Structure 1
Amino acid sequence: MKNYTGLEIAIIGMAGRFPGANDIEGFWENLRNGVESVEFLSREELVKNGENPELIDHPAYVPASAHVRGKEYFDADFFGYLPAEARLMDPQMRLFHEICWTALEDAGYNPYESGNKIGLFSGGASNANWEVGAILANREEMVDDFSAFNLRNINFLSSHISYLLDLSGPSITCNTACSTSLVAIQRACMSLLLRECNMALAGGVFISTRPQVGYIHQDGMIHSADGHCRAFDAAASGTIIGDGAGVVVLKKLDEAIKDGDHIYAIIKGSAINNDGSRKIGYTAPSVDGQSKVIMKAIQMAKVDPSTIGYVEAHGTGTKLGDPVEIAGLTRAFNTEKKQFCAIGSVKSNIGHLDTAAGVAGLIKAVLSLQHGQLVPSLHYQQPNPEIDFANSPFYVNTTLRPWERNGHPRRAGVSSFGIGGTNVHVVLEEAPVREAGSEGRSHQLLLLSGKTPGALERNAARVSAYLQQDTTTSLNDIAYTQQVGREAFQYRRMLVCRNRSEALALLDTPGWLSAGSHYISDKRTVGVAFLFPGQGSQYSGMCQGLYEEEPHFRSTVDECLSIVQRRCGKDLRPVLFGADTRIDQTEYTQPCLFIIEYSLARLLMSWGVQPSMMIGHSIGEYVAACVSGVFSLSDALYLVVKRGECMQAAPTGKMLSVSLDREGLLALCGVDICLAAVNGPSSGVLSGRESSIAALKLQLESSGHVCRELRTSHGFHSHLMDEVLPAFRDCFRVLPSIHPPCLYFKCDG
């Protein structure tokens, strides 16, 4: 962090919907390919959309529109809104719900997980038409008046989403006209630096509820004469108003690096001011106001202006605004160097997004930094005669070109100026080089979920598409994000894979998803139970692969082996991991099983899998008791070793698993055969002398019953164990008093 001031803010997540692009990836493709996302409508389309034919024939009518497709749709059920509530909600609020969720997923954070105090800073445009329409639509009061008021009023934008997503940081809705969304981002940066929150969502939205039609051009006003925004060009006549929404997820840089977050770019400095009254009119721009806010941002960033290689300008393409902006930038940079800094305006691609304009420009600049490319600003041929680019630090970039570093990190400035004089400027820097993460385990667990079976299927398809598209991100990182950075919905599926090929093969297998998906009816009541088995489950080399690959498991096993060696004088390592037949002698079976089960439990708990209850059978009861705090590890191992030694000295016997109900099992019991355990409605275990169990096994098999001899050295849980009780009871006398556990556990057997 030696190259940073400590005031840097990391951009760790982004989401947006813009004309011609329903996501950030599509937006970038349009930018780098020089796509103009303004649509020009035919007369037939205009009439179909409800435009007045007489208006279409007006000589100043421009049949251009820049709108977001699908803006009328909203997944109300996903966010828990009733259909009646969704119908009344301002469309800007609907869309902003969706991109806030998408941005948090992009950042890899689940808002419902504790530990994050997330702020929300946003803004949208007032919409009198929608408010009146919503009032009329609710005449039958399907929604109570007060709730309806909150839903249709854009002033409640931030607080609605903060409530829904359980965001406990500051929740602020602002409006500074065209600079709203960049002001929201600047305010979020200040809030992070003041520790009012440790993460923040910030951005803005503008959605027009008018049909997709054109407009009447008026000289001297903001609307373009031909539907094109020609920023800084001699033929510029204004811009076109477009729909859009964008949001970024912010965190202090040092914390983002520590947490291993993906960083798109860094906000090095930012500033906000107002023109005041020293200009020709309320709506006019000011060279003085703009230059001061840019200088303040550069001062906070502590960078030389000559190292800034690109400026995303406000760039509305007006004859007055463009020259004022270049004059303000030139004064702020205050350098003799000429034409080293590219300049452009996203408004030439998508129009002016009003309250979402600033965040659109910021996202464009961030993507340019990330990809190391300067994208073309469209429709520029010759400069506005009032702009002297030759004697300024700037040139309009009109082609896609590599962004060279020239001995310093790539840096960019982003400006947004609101009608009324609220100016904001942000200085960006490319992200630091990310240190390579660990390779992770040989196998990865990918988790998938959805609120419906269809949503689960679509999410699986998205993961499949991502795995095919992005071949650089490690599978380890992808699996981690899917586990901790996603909300777990009711419909779930998982897969275990070693590499991308295995994951894709499973994801693309027909019927794989539906065959193994699970439905969790109420996730709030779902707990985890640890079940610890008894003897019969042991085998040579138990969990040897896990011991070799998992450091936590290995250290726990080693600790247990050391305790047994020190306290009981037994070396269990060759029995546990060697080809040692003593593994089936109860003197060794019991402590070896305990060690493996205890170490597995501790490994799962180290991964965050905490049991809400534990169930143990036979030797497994001791593991459950130890994990829950009844015994210390040392005392539990001592008891288990002594239990095994006592039982080893008892008469030998056998155990038989039989597929019968309790009554059927009891009918088979006698002097030499006992009912050892009832495992289920039609399954149990009988125990007794070897000869008696062998004879019973032949009898049952000849009559067609399913039975299986267990891998044990003695007839446990039978009368054969009675003689070991006095000696085993004496072992407890050397132990300290036993206190009840804090964690409930249940024993079986």
Structure 2
Amino acid sequence: MEPSANSADLSPTKRALLALQQLQAKLDALEAAQQEPIAIVGMGCRFPGNVENPADFWQLLQAQQDAITEVPNDRWDLSKYYHPDPNHPGTMHSRLGGFLPHLLEFDAAFFRIAPREAASLDPQQRLLLEVSWEAVEHAGLAADRLVGSNTGVFVGICSIDYWQRLLNRHPSEIDAYLTTGNTHSLAAGRISYVFGFTGPSLALDTACSSSLVAVHTACQSLRQRECDLALAGGVNRILEPASSINFAKARMMSISGRCRSFDAAADGFVRAEGAGIVVLKRWRDAVRDGDRVWAVILGSAVNHDGRAGGLTVPNGSAQQALLRQALQQSRIQPAQVSYIETHGTGTPLGDPIEMNAIGAVLTDSRPQPLYLGAVKTNIGHTEAAAGIAGLIKTVLALQAEAIPANLHFQTPNPQIPWAELPVQVPTQLVPWPQGTMPRVAGISAFGFSGTNAHIIVADRPPESSNSVSPDSSRQSAELANPPYLLTLSARTEPALQQLVERYRQHLQTHSSISLAGLCYTANQGRAQFNHRLAILADSLPDLQQKLAQIGTGSLPSGVFQGRVTQPVLSLTDDTAFPDLPSLAQHYVAGACINWTARGHTVVLPTYPFQRQHYGIEPT
């Protein structure tokens, strides 16, 4: 109720009523803000199985791929540290894990990091920089336009392997970059510094729930208006044998070398590396800005086990409370949840506790079975990155309208009362089609710190009538009629040539992509560097042919190339130059184009990092 112009003439009773109504309106607005959905507008990830991006990840999940391999030679000497007897001192009983390539390789020059500093930089910080850049590009955002923005960074991280490796050297070898290169606070702070973000920047360590707690914290920060955009996720790298020996002695690690979540043969988890970042924005802001929205976070919760059966023992009561709190915050009824991406470590103790908590909270009055999954059966336990792996998997499943299979599920764990629970653990890809109501899923992560996290996501907010999708979330008009202008740029000439090849290959496998959307995304949604190409194309086949010709070293008609040596004034595409060839020539000469045409964002190749070796080898 708006205040009346003559409210002073109202009686005391009516003035009091008016004040109460105004106060109630403010409280309602505050409550709505605290429960506003958060849009996931971009993602980046690296996981075992040569997963370099979300599309790779979905291919791995859809193909039911097991990404577990033997420990690589660049980690430790298996002949020295492996022994089949878990009780054997100084060794581990597993030869297996989930690992990523490029352990000590990094494009230091791209991120403006000196070689000496790069050598002392934790591979986890390196990986976070790369994946954060890729997530921003996946969101269709130009990183150079985010400098100075109120963007927050929230990172889950717990491994200290590289720090241990550096400290194992003689004190005379300690340099000026040891602490800044390995302190966890810098894992987030360095991202904010490199990108020029000014919002909150936090590193969180709650063990295996770290990355999901980071996403929860990012959502809270967005709702409280502490930031307007957020990067959230986690990372894990395994370099040294000490933690694996420790986990082996604690009987946490699988003897069989596989995560067998909810199976009778479950015997522990398999350690794995990984990294994932999601780009988050308040739902209303994403709609206003025309962002592509992959899914929405309806709500989340974090709690602690309290004084349970032991410091690292899961607490079923706490897990039940966590689920109820997340449902309440999301304003979702249990029966509306159709899928749970479980923590699912595949331990004889943890699996029944988690399943019983799910059964107590989510299985009453359920018209359809509740599907359960565990990405650890594919890629292993990525520890600090486990929650973000489960979140990205679930978002991809929502988009693909299918729930991936669980691997290694053959004989249901007899300690779980399956007959009493309307749940299913799929062993094949299960259709998950859109309907009149939002599809809702939950993701759990539990840390042996006792900190638990649960996030509830959906394909759209409950009040939204249409499902969001990467192809339809932007409703603005397409670009003008042909010809189209595609701009590409990189920091170095080899990187530019590799980017051209990536685009050529991408078009081979995405023949139905919108050329207008492709040009819009590349022009508007990428940072601009000094080595530049501008390509005029009438059609996709025309663009493919020109990309192929560029790859052979020739510049066909309609292709312009240049290297920027000095800044050029900003120009507007539709006012400064009425014809595209003129605009293309000025772009490669260094013009900063203020693109005015509107379009929809599509998924395109990300920047090709030019990695070199920086680091200290194991002793």
Amino acid at match of 2:418: F
Does 2:443 match 1:399?
no
> Which of residues 575, 585, 594 in structure 2 aligns to 1:608?
594
Separation of aligned partners in 2, 1:137 and 1:400:
53
Unaligned runs of 5+ in 1: 531-545, 557-604, 611-749
Q: CA 1:467/1:116 → structure 2, altered by over 3 Å: closer, same or farther?
A: farther
Report what 1:511 is aligned to. Answer: 553
Does structure 1 conserve the Cα–Cα contact (< 8 Å) formed by 2:75 and 2:238? no
- Decide whether the 8 Å contact of 1:17 with 1:245 is kept in 2: yes
Structure 1 residues 241 and 449: CA distance shift in structure 2, 3 A:
same
The structure showing larger relative contact order (alpha-carbon pairs under 8 Å, at least 6 residues apart) is 2
Q: Which of 133, 144, 166 pairs up with 1:112?
A: 144
Equivalent position amino acid for 1:206 in 2: N
Larger Rg: 1
C-alpha contact (below 8 Å) 2:76/2:240 kept by paired residues: no
Which one of the candidate residues 434, 438, 444 is aligned to 2:477?
438
Per the alignment, in what secondary structure is the counterpart of residue 310 of structure 1? strand
- Shift of residue 155 of structure 1? 2.7
After the TM superposition, which parts of structure 1 deviate over 6 Å for at least 4 consecutive aligned residues? 45-48, 211-217
What's the RMSD between the two structures over aligned residues?
A: 3.1
Letter in 2 for 1:438: A
SS of residue in 1 equivalent to 2:543: helix
Choose from 457, 472, 479 the match for 2:497: 457
Q: Secondary structure at the match of 1:309?
A: strand
Q: Do residues 121 (structure 1) and 154 (structure 2) align? A: yes
| TM-score, structure 2 as length reference | 0.79
**Deviations 1:118-152 (CA, angstroms, capped at 9, x unpaired):** 110002124155345157388356x53xx431112
Distance 1:439 1:353 in 2: 41
5 Å matches for 1:371-390?
371-390=400-419
2:357 aligned partner? 328
Residues 295/472 of structure 1: CA separation in 2 closer, same or farther (3 Å cut):
farther
User: Does the alignment pair 1:247 with 2:277?
Assistant: yes
Partner of 2:464: none
- Counterpart of 1:374, as a letter, is I
Residue type at the aligned position of 1:367:
L
* Structure 1 counterpart of 2:569: 527
Spell out, residue by residue over 1:440-479, the C-alpha distance to the aligned partner (whole angstroms, 9 max, x if none).
2112211100111110111112222233333454222221
Q: Secondary structure at the match of 2:222?
A: helix
Structure with the larger helix share? 1
Summarize the alignment of residues 56-67 of structure 1 with structure 2, pairs less than 5 Å apart.
56=83, 58=85, 61-67=93-99
Determine if contact 2:263/2:346 at 8 Å carries over to the other structure. Answer: yes
The whole-number CA distance in structure 2 between the counterparts of 1:212 and 1:25 is 34
SS at match of 1:52: helix
1:281 Cα deviation from its structure 2 partner = 1.1
Equivalent residue runs for 1:176-575 within 5 Å: 176-210=206-240, 221-277=251-307, 279-333=308-362, 335-337=364-366, 340-405=369-434, 407-431=436-460, 432-433=467-468, 434=472, 436-442=475-481, 443-509=483-549, 510-512=552-554, 516-522=560-566, 525-527=567-569
Per the TM alignment, residue 437 of structure 1 is displaced from its structure 2 partner at its CA by: 4.2
What whole-Å deviation, never above 9, does each CA across 1:390-442 have from its counterpart, x for those lacking one? 21232111111211346422221100111122111111111534255423211
Cα distance, 1:526 vs structure 2: 2.3
Query: What is the alpha-carbon distance in structure 2 between the residues aligned to residue 133 and residue 508 of structure 1?
Result: 45
Matches of 1:118 and 1:81, distance apart in 2: 22
What is the CA distance between 1:191 and its match in structure 2? 0.8
Task: Tell me if structure 2 keeps the 8 A contact 1:110–1:487.
Answer: yes
Q: Does 1:84 align with 2:116?
A: yes
Q: Which runs of 5+ in 2 are unaligned?
A: 1-31, 88-92, 461-466, 579-590, 597-619
The percentage of counterpart residues that share the same residue type is 35
Task: Give the deviation of 1:280 after TM superposition.
Answer: 0.8
Work out the number of aligned pairs and report it.
530
Q: Distance in 2 between matches of 1:17 and 1:529?
A: 37
Aligned to 1:502, what secondary structure does the other structure show?
Answer: helix
Shift of the alpha carbon at 1:28? 1.1
Instruction: Write the letter of the residue equivalent to 1:518.
Output: G
Which residue identity does 2:121 align to in structure 1? M
- Alignment correspondent of 1:51: 78
Deviations 1:571-624 (A, max 9, x none): xxxxxxxxxxxxxxxxxxxxxxxxxxxxxxxxxx997389xxxxxxxxxxxxxx
Does the CA contact (< 8 Å) of 2:188 and 2:202 recur in 1?
A: yes
Aligned partners of 1:46 and 1:82: how far apart in 2? Answer: 27
Residue 46 of structure 1, CA deviation: 6.8
Corresponding residue for residue 133 of structure 1: 166
Alpha-carbon offset, residue 58 of structure 1: 4.3
Return closer, same or farther for 1:488/1:274 CA change in 2, 3 Å cut-off: same
Task: Give the TM-score taking structure 1 as reference length.
Answer: 0.66
C-alpha contact (below 8 Å) 2:38/2:283 kept by paired residues? yes
Over 3 Å counting, the alpha-carbon distance change for 1:26 and 1:289 in structure 2 is: same
Whole-Å Cα distance in 2 between the matches of residues 390 and 405 of structure 1? 29
What is the DSSP-based 3-state SS (H/G/I as helix, E as strand, rest coil) of the residue aligned with 2:424? strand
1:538 maps to what in 2? none
Distance, in Å, in 2 between the alignment partners of 1:606 and 1:239 is 51
Distance 2:80 2:311 in 1: 35
The answer to whether the 8 Å contact 1:103/1:248 transfers is yes
Note the C-alpha offset of 1:274: 1.2
Measured in 2, the distance between the counterparts of 1:439 and 1:405 equals 26
Note if contact 2:532-2:561 (Cα within 8 Å) is conserved in structure 1. yes
Q: CA deviation at 1:498?
A: 2.4
Deviation readout 1:503-529 (Å, 9 max, x if unpaired): 11211113245984211124xx32258
Supply the AA of the counterpart residue of 2:45. Answer: G
Q: Structure 1: how far apart are the matches of 2:424 and 2:298?
A: 23
Partner of 2:11: none
**Whole-angstrom distance in 1 between the partners of 2:195 and 2:247:** 42
**2:183 alignment counterpart:** 153
